[in-house]
Structure 1
Amino acid sequence: MAEPRVPVRHVRTPVLDIAYEEHGPPDGEAVVLLHGFPYDPRCYDAMAASLAPEGLRVIVPYLRGYGPTRFHDAGTMRSGQQAAIAHDLLALLDALSIERAALVGYDWGGRAACIVAALWPERVRCLVSGCGYAIQDIARSVEPLPPEQEHRFWYQYYFHGRRGRDGLAANRHALGRLLWTLWSPTFRFDEQTYAETAASFDNPDFVDIVVHSYRHRFGYAPGDPALEETERRLAAQPVISVPTIALWGADDGVDPPPAADTDAGRFTGGYERRVLPGVGHDIPREAPEAALAALRDLLHG
């Protein structure tokens, strides 16, 4: 029988009412687990259940546009840009009075974790990042990629036009299921597992935030003016100085590991790349023990 889920909590930040789940003692060392698109905190259930008995305070938030997380103001820009997700993470740490945390993330969550580790390293004990250095280089985003990778990014280009936005609005659950299948081709999930996560896509801001994310990263949509300074800093592709283990799924259908480790020079505080055989994009759900091992190695190494 599955373990009962912890209740969803809420914390107020300057922009959002962030919904999150918390496991373990409130005075334990903080670990924040960050999901991506199209996922939600359910991908971390196995990890959270293992970490809490170790005395760690485990925080698993719903990103902006997912689940019960909501904006305070209807007039706030529904930005999905990388700086917005990072500032949400920083604001969450502040609101929960967490001075320093271990960060685990992949996809959008990995990007937020990489940015906070790069720009505010004093707030980060260590980092486990799915797919390595995830900070977008927007200035180079229009440069063509090898055809195989262009093909993998079809969904991003789909969202650049009205047809894609309308398609996401009408078919968000079916589209998410397709992406799960394409990105984790060796992972077998049942409909209940998918439905538990897909419910988070019914957030009223989901479509606007997803579409903005995939337009902004290619320079096709303006960002939030309040985040311009952060985006300027990110344009310099800052190094990450906290101890990091980068996890890559060998079977990842959207962002497979390159044969050569091109990220090594971007990490200056201790770095290791681990490629996981038989694992796709949803690393914490498909390989929780490998993700746990990476985090424990950083915390206790």
Structure 2
Amino acid sequence: MTEQPARIAQTETLRIAYFEQGPANGWPVILSHGFPYDVHAFEQVAPILAGAGARVIVPYARGFGSTSFISANTMRNGQQAARGLDVIQLAEVLELNRPILAGFDWGGNASCVAAALWPERVGGLVCYAGYDIIDVDAQRNPVSASLERVFWYQHLFQSERGRKCLTAHRRELCRLLWYEWSPGWHFAEATFDRSAVSFDNPDFVDVVIHAYRWIFGLEKGDSALQTLEARLAQKPPITVAAVTIDGSADPLKPGGTADHAGLFAGMHEHRIVAAGHNVPQQEPEQFADAIIKLRSWL
């Protein structure tokens, strides 16, 4: 995927680096990665979709790879409304007509946010896992002790010690998360190394730390996005056609997200895949199939 230099699309706040595959007049898809992953999560998904006639856009999220902020004075913001808006503005700049949005982790969250807030600009949604819009008020309450243990990295990031740890040991920490979140996935060290280069982005630490402190309500977001966050806090139903996916071995989602079905008001199918958290890289054919199935509904 990265044999050619990334293309750049300039939005209001970012120069978004992205890769593209498939015919220029193909049906548009934006594939959004999460933390701590990058565009390589879709390196086997993208050619399957391109072969099915899709114009596939795979961007680096803010704080990753060669995506950069236009101004040094812009807040290094990781909140969900900012990342959802990034997806919508990217589609706008590239003149994509109602693209299918597909993603996992942060990318699933950003895709859900975009679909919930701007359904008229979205063709459909494929999301891992479920209705992945963050309820900040709910985050103030504890979950089970076993799940709090899985969330150790989020707790670490609340302290300045955590910021220093991510700064100094980002590859070691992120590699550990890959192993923990996808038990049984025996990825090669070279596979991790290709993605880990993206974590050297100068804004990586600031964006990641802000994202997790904002989720816990311990840091403020951008005041200009507060109206959008207020709408998201109401849990707006997703009205576009959607396929949601759970990884049966994902420790972050024990029990899965089938109970989210009521938050999807359009056509909706829920799938369970024998994988951990990183379904696109572990089971690329199944992730691509979900997108192609969704396309057949439109």
Name the TM-score class by shorter chain.
over 0.9
SS of 1:262's equivalent in the other structure is helix
1:55-105 deviation line (CA, Å, top 9, x unaligned): 210000000000000001000000000011011111101111113101110
Distance 2:145 2:65 in 1: 35
Distance 1:273 1:257 in 2: 13
Partner of 2:128: 130
AA in 2 matched with 1:78? R
Long gaps (5+) in structure 2: none
Distance 1:142 1:51 in 2: 40
AA in 2 matched with 1:300? S
TM-score computed with the length of structure 1 as normaliser:
0.96
Deviation at residue 261 of structure 1 after TM alignment: 2.3
Deviation at residue 4 of structure 1 after TM alignment: 7.4
Q: Report the number of matched residues.
A: 297
Equivalent of 1:161 in 159, 162, 175: 159
AA in 1 matched with 2:205? V
* Cα contact 2:237–2:265 (8 A) shared by 1: yes
Q: Which moved more, 1:202-211 or 1:226-235?
A: 226-235
Distance 1:178 1:64 in 2: 22
TM-score computed with the length of structure 2 as normaliser:
0.97
1:160-184 deviation line (CA, Å, top 9, x unaligned): 0011110000000001100000000
Partner of 2:237: 239
Partner of 1:287: 283
SS of 1:17's equivalent in the other structure is strand
CA RMSD of aligned residues (A): 1.2
* Cα contact 1:244–1:272 (8 A) shared by 2: yes
Partner of 1:118: 116
Partner of 1:298: 294
Equivalent of 1:49 in 47, 50, 53: 47
Long gaps (5+) in structure 1: none
Deviation at residue 254 of structure 1 after TM alignment: 2.0
Deviation at residue 54 of structure 1 after TM alignment: 2.1
Distance 1:266 1:20 in 2: 31
Q: Which moved more, 1:223-232 or 1:58-67?
A: 223-232
> Where does structure 1 differ by over 6 angstroms across 4 or more consecutive aligned residues?
none
Partner of 1:181: 179
Equivalent of 1:262 in 259, 262, 266: 259
Distance 2:20 2:86 in 1: 17
Q: Does the alignment pair 1:276 with 2:273?
A: yes
Partner of 2:103: 105
